[in-house]
């Protein structure tokens, strides 16, 4: 039995992560190399195609069904690590079962991708908003009140609001920043004497 790994950019996992799961296997990249992987040969050995997730196989149901029909014609076995099972093509119901599992895997993967993208965008947005007030953050409260600074930072983002905890994440605690700023001013004053 010949083991082959199918990887793709259709999942939240990087191609390197997918390769690392089966480091010793020859790998093929979907969708471009599927035809090469499933090409007819004279060998009698059955191919066992490994994927980290069924979501790696195809981005549309039509493409998945085409892949499954080719794999069935070749007599291949399909092994998915994420779904923790092997799939065999002995009946038509097997293909429907795989399609249903693929849909679930795509939904789980899409949710992770969407969540990661959303978190990255929010972090970039908050970092830029905090950069607006970074120079004034260590100044005394009498000059710049914390609620005023947070409101000003919030004007540059969609939510129109930055929480104190978000500001702390990117700028540090304000009392500590103020203490360090005052210490810096004292050092400068002492150095001038």
CATH number for the domain whose boundaries are 2-116: 3.40.50.1390
- Res 85: pLDDT: 67
Query: What burial class does residue 135 get, using C-beta atoms within 10 Å of its C-beta: 0-12 exposed, 13-18 middle, 19+ buried?
Result: exposed
136-144 mean pLDDT: 91
- Res 137: pLDDT: 92
- Res 93: pLDDT: 59
pLDDT band for position 84 (cuts 50, 70, 90): low
Per-residue pLDDT of 55-74, as tens digits, reads 888 888 998 898 888 888 88
115-130 mean pLDDT: 86
- Res 92: pLDDT: 59
Q: Is the pLDDT of residue 147 over 60?
A: yes
For the chain, the structural domain boundaries read 2-116, 134-192
In the chain, where does DSSP find H-type helix? 15-21, 34-37, 61-74, 92-133, 146-154, 164-171, 174-192
Tokens 């399909």 belong to 78
* CA separation for the pair 68, 57 (Å, rounded): 9
- Res 90: pLDDT: 56
This prediction has a pTM of: 0.55
* CA separation for the pair 37, 168 (Å, rounded): 52
């Amino acid at each position: 039995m010949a083991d082959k790994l199918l990887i793709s950019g259709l999942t939240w996992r990087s191609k390197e992560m997918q390769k690392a799961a089966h480091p010793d296997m020859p790998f093929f990249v979907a969708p471009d190399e599927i035809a090469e992987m499933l090409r007819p040969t004279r060998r009698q050995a059955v191919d066992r195609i490994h994927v980290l997730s069924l979501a790696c196989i195809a981005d549309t149901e039509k493409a998945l069904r085409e892949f499954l029909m080719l794999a069935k014609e070749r007599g291949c076995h399909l092994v998915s690590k994420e779904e923790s099972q092997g799939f065999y093509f002995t009946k038509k119901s097997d293909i429907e079962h795989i399609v249903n599992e693929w849909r679930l895997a795509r939904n789980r993967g899409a949710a992770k991708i969407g969540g990661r993208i959303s978190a990255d965008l929010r972090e970039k947005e908050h970092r830029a908003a905090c950069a607006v007030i970074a120079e004034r953050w260590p100044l005394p409260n009498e000059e710049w009140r914390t609620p005023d600074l947070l409101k000003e930072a919030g004007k540059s983002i969609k939510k129109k609001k930055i929480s104190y905890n978000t500001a702390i994440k990117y700028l540090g605690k304000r009392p500590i920043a103020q203490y360090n700023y005052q210490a810096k001013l004292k050092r400068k004053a002492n150095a001038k004497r």
